[in-house]
Amino acid sequence: MADGDMTIGKPISRIDGSKKVAGRALYAAEYDAPGLLHAAVVSSRIAKGKITAIDAIEALALPGVIAVLTHENRPRVAAFRYAYKDTVGPPGGPFKPLHDGKIRFADQPVAVVVGETLEAARDGAALVRITYEEEAFETDLDAAKAASFRPRLPRLGVKPAPKPRGDFDAAFAAAPIKIAAAYETAAQHHNAMELFATTVVWEGEDKITVYDKTQGSQNVQLYLKQALGFKLKNVRVVNAFVGGAFGSGLRPAHSAFLATLAAKHLKRSVRLVLTRAQMFSITYRADTRQEIALACDAEGRLLAVRHACVAATSRNEDQQETIVNWAGLAYACDNAAFDYQLARVDTPTPGDMRAPGAAVGVHVLECAMDELAYAAGIDPLDLRLRNWVEHDQNDDLPLTSKAQKACYAQAAERFGWSERSFGPRTMRDGHELIGWGVAGGVWDAFVAPVPTRARVTWRRDGRLEVAAAASDIGTGTYTILAQIAAEAFGVSVERVEVRLGDSTLPFNPVEGGSWMAASTGAAVAKACDKLKAALVKTARKQFKLRGKSALSVARGAVIGEALPGGAVSLNEILAAVGQDIAATGTNLPDLAGQRKHSSYVHSAVFAEVRVDEELGVIRVKRIVSAIAAGRILNPKTAGSQIIGGMVMGIGQALHEEAQTDHRFGKVMNHSFQDYHVPANADVGDIEVIFVQEHDPDVSSLGVKGVGEIGLVGVAPAIANAVFHATGKRIRSTPITIDKLLD
């Protein structure tokens, strides 16, 4: 691409792609250090109780093992729970690794074995003998929900259940057409491909560089400082490449704490890698039990909506997600009631997983809308359009934009929805029943709730550098930030170098909630504006220009009639100055605007399934998803984000479920063999459409963010297609063969 072309909105290949395809992108476990030691974690065999004895004699006798750290012999760490708080955790007291002999959940880390080699640490971990005294525990949400409760403290950034409006009970009782149903959604695990890993490089007296798998380098930096007693300036956290996370890396993982603890104890560099099985004890998407009731008149207009949810949380923290609110937001309805409760189980604290809240809440709403459509004898797509709303009735605010009608229209056209027959079991191909389902999707259009910063530097080597402590977990952040800077200076993307994933760079919050493009992107745009002003000022000085002669920056040069030849390249200007010139930009959340309007990103999803009538095997043949997400900075990387969400949605609908044996309180299927995530052959044809949506109010770049919305609506579109194929309404995800044949 030549200098001067517009780059925003172009399908540019990701700029980190060549490193990734060549195996040159380094992830947390891939940094070396002189004298590097290896650490392995010993996990608790029991789900609750206490440690009565630890026998590490055999482990320590193994050649190559040099230390076994437990709560009995660890170095001093912070005692108070506040020291373990991170920037995104929910209310409550965070888990404190190796703090005491209490066991709070199965596979809790209870010891760290450090060895000269990976194999010595791993084999040593198998030789640590721990004796426990077991206590009664509960991991079954169906039993725990008898003691459900409404969260006392709200979680920062998560909307509580909306206030009721109108009179649900009276409206529901009087309505001519109504449905009410109970749903279950299974606990899911993020299962990013990269194992949780931390390499701590001991740089000298109490100074460390920590290569960590995290979605927020500065979040981990603060956590390690507080919990392990380092000075902030002596802790540098790097996450330049992250092998997926999907929310599992929002909060500091116990592996980062344990690796740093071992390094501090031994004053040596240490690498710790968790096993796949151990990753099931970090966090998970909470399982839920939900109830929904919808009523409409003969024309399909909604008269009453009620959505209630009980979600699992741990003993020590109140994880909260926005689950029931969508039912009051997606469609027009004046009589609405909501309830959101938690129930405590003896597990690690559940956490955010791609599209937290909406993934399970919108699923239930959209399945219920399908059920209501059949109760009313109205086409399911038509029912949605008949209840169109462009006002946020939960908060009584106008929406900045909602191009979802275009989503429905374009995706329906592409899918061929008009060819669908209404009745269940009316379409087939040989022994396969064919089902077509539709669902709408909605997710928050967040801008980061804290100031987000970026630095842009025009360097003397002629390159434009963008730097921010943001994370690219596969989302395309490197690429879109390069595009924003390239466009601001009218240069090619190849001239831009982006540095991310380093706590020493300008402040950024964790990468989550689909807010990074809108927030860090805006900070880069602002930094570019400031840098251009600084370069113009420098040019004025250099050429001793007085008065108001107009100067601007374009195509890598300062341009103006008063300049020799009408333009002077930035490189020449810098050569004369003798140094790089930098500027920092800050994006602030528009708090005043947020009180005046609401912003959401929307989708429409159409799915075709094929169900083997005798075997109950479900195949997803094709999915079309249309997305309204404001301005799309890069349709190639954004399209991949949407596809990725859709694939995870297939997993949510048909495959993914943490199966806990409640007699042991332990996830039994803690491997890729037994916890199935969609594989290549599970995924049929997928098509993504971005519809035009102009929204100058949502964020300064008009961007809404695309990390989560791809997933929302996919599971209900598939579930509704399964109903259309089979006539069976399966109200429990994942929809597995046993449920279908039952």
- Active-site positions read 708
Distance CA(381)–CA(417), nearest Å, equals 9
User: Helix (H, G, I), strand (E, B), or coil: what is residue 212?
Assistant: strand
Stretch that binds other proteins, among 11-19, 73-81, 100-108, 444-452 (CB under 8 A): 11-19
CB of 669 to other proteins, least distance (A): 12
What string marks each residue from 666 to 695 as x (binds other proteins by CB under 8 A) or -?
-----xxx---xxxxxxx-xx---------
| Binds other proteins (CB under 8 A): choice among 97, 151, 351, 474 | 474
Give Cα separations from 266 to 115, 201, 230, 467 (angstroms). 11, 12, 15, 34
Residue 381 contacts other proteins per CB under 8 A: no
- The yes or no reply on residue 476 touching other proteins (CB under 8 A) is yes
Q: Alpha helices of 467-551 — where are they, by DSSP H?
A: 477-489, 516-542
Sole binder of other proteins in the list 6, 9, 32, 176 (CB under 8 A): 32
> Minimum distance between the CB of residue 29 and other proteins, rounded to whole angstroms?
8
Q: Least distance to other proteins from the beta carbon of 38, Å? A: 8
Q: Is 430 in the site for other proteins (CB under 8 A)?
A: no
Q: How far is the CB of 195 from other proteins (least distance, A)?
A: 6
Residues 122-161 that bind other proteins (CB under 8 A): 123
Q: Which residue lies nearer to other proteins by CB, 33 or 535?
A: 33
Stretch that binds other proteins, among 299-307, 474-482, 571-579, 695-703 (CB under 8 A): 474-482
Does position 66 interact with other proteins (CB under 8 A)? The reply is no
The CB-of-37 to other proteins minimum distance in angstroms stands at 9
Q: Which of 98, 110, 250, 273 binds other proteins (CB under 8 A)?
A: 273
In the complex, minimum distance from the CB of residue 503 to other proteins, in angstroms, rounded to a whole number: 20
Tell me, residue by residue from 316 to 355, as one string, x for binding to other proteins by CB under 8 A and - for no binding: ----------------------------------------
Whose Cβ is closer to other proteins: residue 89's or residue 644's? 644
SS (H, E, C) 678-715: CCHHHCCEEEEEECCCCCCCCCCCCECCCCCCCCCCHH
In 3D space, the residue among 480, 506, 482 whose CA is nearest the CA of residue 494 turns out to be 482
Q: What token pair was written down for 391?
A: 């006002």
C-alpha span between 297 and 289 (Å, rounded)? 28
Binding-residue total with other proteins (CB under 8 A): 66
User: 245 vs 296, which CB is nearer to other proteins?
Assistant: 245
Judged by CB under 8 A, the stretch of 29-37, 174-182, 457-465, 513-521 that binds other proteins is 29-37
Q: Does 471 bind other proteins (CB under 8 A)?
A: no
Contact flags string 641-660 toward other proteins, x per CB under 8 A = x-xxxxxx------------
Strands 496-499 and 618-628: unpaired
Which of 23, 547, 564, 565 is in the footprint of other proteins by CB under 8 A? 23
293 and 178 Cβ atoms separated by less than 8 Å: yes
**635 preceded by cis ω (within 30°)?**
no
- Cβ nearer to other proteins, comparing 244 with 449: 244
Q: Helix/strand/coil (H, E, C) string of 444-479? A: ECCCCCCCEEEEEEECCCCCEEEECCCCCCCCCHHH
Contact 667, 350 (CB under 8 A): no
Sign of the CA dihedral running 359, 364, 368, 371: positive
> In angstroms, rounded to a whole number, what is the distance separating the alpha carbons of residues 582 and 585?
10
**Cβ closer to other proteins: 378 or 642?**
642
- The position carrying tokens 């072309």 is 5
Q: Are strands 65-70 and 464-467 parallel, antiparallel or unpaired?
A: unpaired
If you write DSSP's letter for every residue of 36-89 in order, what string do you get? -EEEEEEE-SSSSEEEEEEE-HHHHHSTTEEEEEETTTPPP---SGGGG--SSP
CB of 583 to other proteins, least distance (A): 31
Q: Which of 46, 67, 192, 658 binds other proteins (CB under 8 A)?
A: 192
**Minimum distance of other proteins from residue 288's CB (angstroms):** 22
Within 8 A by CB and 6+ apart from 345, the residues are 138, 139, 140, 141, 144, 312, 313, 314, 315
Instruction: Give φ, ψ of 289 to 5 degrees.
Output: -120, 125
656 within 8 A of 732, measured Cβ to Cβ: no
Q: Does 64 bind other proteins (CB under 8 A)?
A: yes
**What type of residue is 255?**
S
58 touching other proteins, by CB under 8 A: no
The binder of other proteins chosen from 3, 4, 5, 17 (CB under 8 A): 17
**Cβ(280)–Cβ(672) under 8 Å?**
no
Of 513 and 639, nearer to other proteins (C-beta) is: 639
Question: Between residues 119 and 580, which has the closer beta carbon with respect to other proteins?
Answer: 119
Binder of other proteins out of 3, 30, 86, 167 (CB under 8 A): 30
The residue from 87, 117, 234, 504 that contacts other proteins (CB under 8 A) is 117
CB of 245 to other proteins, least distance (A): 8
Phi, psi of 607 (to 5 degrees): -130, 145
**Cα 398 from Cα 396, distance rounded (Å):** 7
Q: Which of 36, 183, 176, 194 is nearest to 118 (CA)?
A: 36
Amino acid identity for residue 490 in this structure: G
Q: Which is nearer to other proteins, 149 or 672 (CB)?
A: 672
- 27 is an interface residue for other proteins by CB under 8 A: yes
Site string for other proteins, 601-640 (x = CB under 8 A): -----------------------------------xx-xx
Contact between 429 and other proteins per CB under 8 A: no
Tell me which residues touch other proteins (CB under 8 A): 13-14, 16-27, 29-30, 32, 35, 63-64, 116-119, 123, 190-195, 241-244, 246, 273, 275-276, 473-476, 636-637, 639-641, 643-648, 671-673, 677-683, 685-686
